[in-house]
Chain A
Amino acid sequence: MKVPYSWIREFVDIDKSAEEVVDRLNETGLEAIVETFGEYIPELTTVRVLSVKKHPERDKLYICEATDGRKKYQIITGADNVVENSIVLMAKVGAKINGIIIKERNFGSYKSEGMFLSLEELGLADTSEGIWLLPEDTPIGVDGSELLGLGNEKIIEIDITPNRGDALSVKGLAREIGAIFNIKRKDYKANVLILDELIPNISVDTEKCYRYRGVIIRDIEIKPSNLDIQLKLLKSGQKPINNIVDITNYILLQEGQPLHAFDLDKIKGKVIVRNAKDGEKILALDGNEYNLKGTDIVIADENGVIAIAGIIGGENTKVDENTKNILLEAANFDYISVRKTSKRLGISTESSYRFERGVDIESLAEAQDKAIEMILKFGGSNSKAVGQKDIYPNPYTPKKIRLREKTVERVIGVNISKEECAEILNRLEIPTSVIDDGTISKIPAFRSLDITREIDLVEEVGRLKGFNDIPEDYPRISIEIDKNISYYQFERRSRDYFIDNGVNEIITYSFVGEDIYKDLGLPLPEIEITNYLTKDFRFMRDNLTVSLIQVIKENLRHQVKDISVFEISSVFFKDYEEIRLGIALTGKTVKGFSFTNENVSYNTTKSWDFLKVKGLILNYLKLFNIKDINLNYSKKAYLNPYESADIYVNGKEIGYFGKIHPKIAEKVEIPKDTYLAELKLKYVPRELRETVLKDGYIYSIYTNAYTPIFKDLPKYPSVKRDLAFEVDEDVSVKEIFEGLRKESNLIENIRLFDIFYLNNNKKSVAVSVEFRDKNKSLSDEDVNLEVENILQKLRDKIKGLKLRG
């Protein structure tokens, strides 16, 4: 909400600048900014139009004569709404309008000595039709900028938190500012006479309407509002319409009470406030038709709905230039219901905005009377209020809340005496008196939604006392608190590992679209967002690979071809979510850098291949002492079946790594030498919270690392022996390694140094084996014997195995 500061000052005598006031509002809890109204325009004046003639040479143009009371001007205008005797704003030669300096200009053989202005040209409205016809009470020949307050008037704009509906009015702000600066707020009481001639026929037929007061005003005259009203509305960001509508808006801004005026003669029979019927429709004042539901509250007559309660009026009972008699409504509706309806229908009005945040039910009649007073004054000399009906079945009874001095101290940390608490609360117009251990307050209606408990009063005391002036302290955090940082440390170690090995960390959206799943031949994810933003953000991903592929594409688009990236993030299933690590690698393993110039490349860099990726992954698992790792050829449809592996730990699949399937690569348009990997990080001992000795290792939550305990250093030397085996081609080296290890307990290390293929479906596998006996030095003969022994056992187990030359 924004309102001119001068309006607020009508209700509180304050000599501080608007900037000072705004600073204090911010410090005490209302987010506020101050801005200047428009920009000063020199050579702007008000004139009366003396005559209007059609331009004899030009269609759509008018030649007008106007006077500022001293001089006559000839102005050519295209505005259709210009009429004789109207008062308009005129930019004289030298004025600057939207960056253009006004000059004398000829239209055909006629000269124009200036320009009549519209609200839009003045920067006071986004759009406007025709020029701005000023009200009759506007003086002519005065400085237009000064008259409007351009470049001078301060506008205060506040953005309230949902609990502070009480501040959504000039009155509310005056109350707040009065409390902050300890100045008593001013107010006035309307002086109106409401006759008993015609009592409106109204009934309330719903529990969601807490109060409804209708007043009939007859014989009004619809015309533009006077200058003061129009200017206040304009400065508050609203467009003046006519006197009746303007007055309802004016009172809404000033008092915070929404009002609605119905054209009484368009209402058929009795007015009923009731729940809507499912399927009922209304054409609203915004020109849209809305479908209503049983949970909505409406104002209806015998023909149907004439307004959506608290939100918007109907076209069918609209006040227009022919309106003579009105029913002026002031009501109070259930804020939840208004909120639900306005949200569902997608309408937010000044009225609904206030009802949703709570409107002061007790000030309803007072505010409405102020409106009636204005209507009777500005709505034509014959207008009179002829009858009223106020339906208010359960008048407000203030809740009493006790505030203990001790609670203030427990929460804020300093002692504020009960006398001072009472003084602060009374300043906020919350009637409060001192009792034995604190204070007792009667919560007025305008704060009844916000202040319901003792703690809410603590906040009021604290914010007015000034939280920033209360000195800081430091908590003593108990060292007995369990430190659950195991997972945090684990993730951090994982991240460091990949970064140190040249892989870059990325973060992508958890959202995915349907297309990539189709391309990869995967079933759609289980978790779907029902109110998704765009089709690419429709599902919660159930794997990271889909996102990583998109990152590769994104980088290729920027001619970045060497891509090595990883992401650690959750993936989602209907019943659970789990954290995964995803990796995508393509192009060269980026090698080569210089400290003097980072942008160099090294021409002997190598491309990623299966074994490099395997090394990257297995070393990572090694970091966390993960043993019993098994690899099987992967059957994932988007992977190359001959160059990819699923990883098993203790028999459970924990992920995969491998090359993308060439068909998929082609489909999603990424290089065929792209390697992908994904690991479930679930196997990490997240529940392990203590330092424990397990399998000869000590685990620490601070490093999330396993550190082995000391083992004796070898006492006797080892002996190395190179062995070349011939085996059938389809025998995996794994079988040979495992066989060797199983058949001998003297083997300490096996190193593969050569593999090549022979004729007749055989291959040669050459390994260097290191033998060591814990208890003695091995002789050549010992080793020969051991080798012979191993071979004998392996011959039966491995297909076609024999020792070569």
Chain B
Amino acid sequence: MGLKEDLIKLKEEAKKLIGSVKDKKSLDEIRVKYLGKKGEIKKVLKSLSKLSPDERREIGKIANDIKDEIEKLLKDKLAILKEKELEEELKKSKVDIHLPADWVELGHQHILTKTLQEIVDIFIAMGFSVEEGPEVEREEYNFDMLNIPKDHPARDMQDTFFINKEGYVLRTHTSPVQIRTMLKNKPPVAIVAPGRVYRKDMDPTHTPMFHQIEGLLVDENITYRDLKGTLQKFLQEVFGKNIKIRLRPSYFPFTEPSFEVDISCTICSGLGCRVCKGTGWLEVLGSGMVDPNVFEAVGIDPEKYTGFAFGLGIERIAMLKYRVPDIRLFYYGDLRFIKQF
């Protein structure tokens, strides 16, 4: 057996060992065994002195090649072992990605303020401003200046809560904000006024407190056609482009002419159902052209200016849109209800 054969044997032996090794420590032992200072390759190289220079050169080159080769095998194997080790480590801290998140659960916005916000934003986008007024309101603003004189049957249309404060009532509608705004600002005026209102009423469709939003646009050249266009656009934004609207002449003391506004039933699409009482229409708001008496009460010239006003119940809209069956559900603070929306 010559040295050359020994070296090739060593290489094959090392290759086999490296191939079968399973951990970094054993791999290191292999490295020491073959490539260490007292390793097998070194031993072969030591015996080179006995050889002729030609042989020495030849065998030396072979030995170095084999050393390089083993080194490369060790390096590759080490990379593999490291990769494996990392994998093991990561595996240990594997999370169940389906675990519940560890973060505060989002709260829920009340469906009424959500509805109200949508409505106000539609009008803000159209160019309206937002106004407020007090809920304990002067009788004069709630009634008289809105062309609802004392002893007029129109005062019966809204059953009023009276309080222990002379000349004041719980406002029965958001319409007094019209008066407050027009007393404060000269036309052009374009406002919406959301808020709580109070009426002495209690059954599955009426509560003694509910929310309204009032709208008012006063300028030169405002006509019924602008009212119709504005409400149509608004209602289509809220209930969808496919709904139809209908204005039915009606009576409110502070508008003339006055209209009840219906939309085609959102439940049956106008075919007739229980919700729309078979008519195919749902009443959603009241509106009209500002009555000249109201203009006169706030010192605006009715010969110069015209305007329209409207008022709608937020609960009514929310009930229709989100199909809430009982108005009282809005006010219990029952989280089982609140968290549905």
Contacts and interface: CB of A to CB of B under 8 A. Distances in A.
B100 A602 contact: yes
Interface in B158-175: 161-165, 170
A31 B110 CA distance: 34
Nearest to A334: B151
A503 B221 CA distance: 47
Interface stretch (A68-76, A387-395, A552-560, A740-748): A552-560
A471 interface: yes
Given A453-B292, A527-B163, A530-B164, A411 B151 contact: no
Contacts of B198: 510
Interface stretch (B26-34, B42-50, B61-69, B132-140): B132-140
Contact of A484 (B101, B105, B129, B292): B129
Interface stretch (B52-60, B74-82, B333-341): B333-341
Contacts of A109: none
A558 B136 CA distance: 34
B229 A473 contact: yes
Given A161-B251, A164-B251, A477-B217, A505 B208 contact: no
A570 B197 CA distance: 12
Given A410-B306, A504-B339, A467 B102 contact: no
Contact of A412 (B124, B162, B224): B224
Contacts of A508: 331-333
B24 interface: no
B223 A410 contact: yes
Contacts of A777: none
B250 A161 contact: yes
A570 B196 contact: yes
Interface string B213-249: 0000101011111101110110000000000001111
A601 B200 contact: no
A463 B288 CA distance: 12
Looking at B209, B224, B233, B279, the one whose CB has the most chain A CB atoms below 10 A away is: B224
B154 interface: yes
B166 to A, nearest CB: 11
B248 A499 contact: no
B101 A511 contact: no
A146 to B, nearest CB: 26
A682 interface: no
A401 interface: no
A402 to B, nearest CB: 14
Nearest to B219: A478
A533 B202 contact: yes
A698 interface: no
Contacts, number: 268
B112 A529 contact: no
Interface string A513-540: 0000000000000011111110001001
Contacts of A563: 335
Looking at B101, B110, B258, the one whose CB has the most chain A CB atoms below 10 A away is: B110
Contact of B223 (A161, A162, A163, A413): A413
B117 A492 contact: yes
Given A29-B249, A570-B196, A477 B259 contact: no
Contacts of B249: 27-29, 459, 462-463, 467
A531 B224 contact: no
A640 to B, nearest CB: 23
A411 B156 CA distance: 28
A163 B161 contact: no
Contact of A480 (B108, B131, B135, B188): B188
Contacts of A500: 106-107
A593 B248 contact: no
Given A455-B291, A499-B109, A530-B162, A336 B151 contact: yes
Nearest to B330: A507
A478 B135 contact: no
B127 interface: yes
Contacts of B130: 484-485, 487-488
Contact of A592 (B101, B207, B209, B247): B101
A499 B114 CA distance: 12
A479 B338 contact: no
Contact of A472 (B105, B161, B229): B229
Given A162-B153, A533-B208, A589 B226 contact: no
Interface string A448-461: 00000101101100
B136 A527 contact: yes
B119 to A, nearest CB: 12
B224 A602 contact: no
B151 A339 contact: yes
Nearest to A336: B151
A357 B153 contact: yes
A467 B334 contact: no
A455 B302 CA distance: 11
Contacts of A564: 107
A458 B156 contact: no
A776 interface: no
Nearest to A23: B279
B106 A502 contact: yes
Contact of A594 (B101, B152, B163, B259): B101
B108 A504 contact: yes
Contacts of A503: 107
B225 A470 contact: yes
A54 B156 CA distance: 55
B130 to A, nearest CB: 4
Contacts of B107: 498-505, 564
Looking at B152, B207, B248, B334, the one whose CB has the most chain A CB atoms below 10 A away is: B248
Contacts of B161: 529, 531-532
Interface string A326-338: 0000000001100
A472 B226 CA distance: 6
Interface string B93-132: 0000011111111111110110001001000101111111
A452 to B, nearest CB: 10
B106 A478 contact: no
Contacts of A548: 333
A455 B153 CA distance: 20
Nearest to A458: B257
A474 interface: yes
A455 to B, nearest CB: 5
A712 interface: no
B265 interface: no
B228 A510 contact: no
A455 B162 contact: no
Given A456-B256, A569-B196, A591-B102, A505 B113 contact: yes
Looking at A164, A472, A533, A569, the one whose CB has the most chain B CB atoms below 10 A away is: A472
Nearest to B256: A455
A52 to B, nearest CB: 46
Contacts of A532: 161
A495 interface: yes
Nearest to B305: A410
A511 B196 CA distance: 12
30 contacts: A28-B249, A29-B250, A33-B279, A162-B156, A340-B151, A410-B221, A411-B223, A413-B226, A453-B292, A462-B224, A463-B249, A467-B224, A472-B232, A473-B228, A475-B229, A480-B188, A485-B129, A485-B130, A505-B338, A506-B338, A508-B332, A527-B136, A528-B164, A533-B200, A548-B333, A555-B333, A564-B107, A589-B104, A591-B103, A592-B100
Interface of B: 98-110, 112-113, 117, 120, 124, 126-132, 134-136, 151-154, 156-157, 161-165, 170, 185, 188-191, 196, 198, 200, 202, 207-209, 217, 219, 221-226, 228-230, 232-233, 246-251, 256-260, 277, 279, 289, 291-292, 306, 330-336, 338-339
3 closest pairs, A vs B, by CB?
A413-B223, A161-B251, A551-B333
Interface of A: 26-29, 31, 33, 161-164, 335-336, 339-340, 343, 356-357, 409-414, 453, 455-456, 458-459, 462-463, 467-468, 470-475, 477-485, 487-488, 492, 495, 498-511, 527-533, 537, 540, 547-548, 550-551, 554-555, 558, 560, 563-565, 567, 569-570, 572, 574, 577, 589-594, 596, 600-602, 604
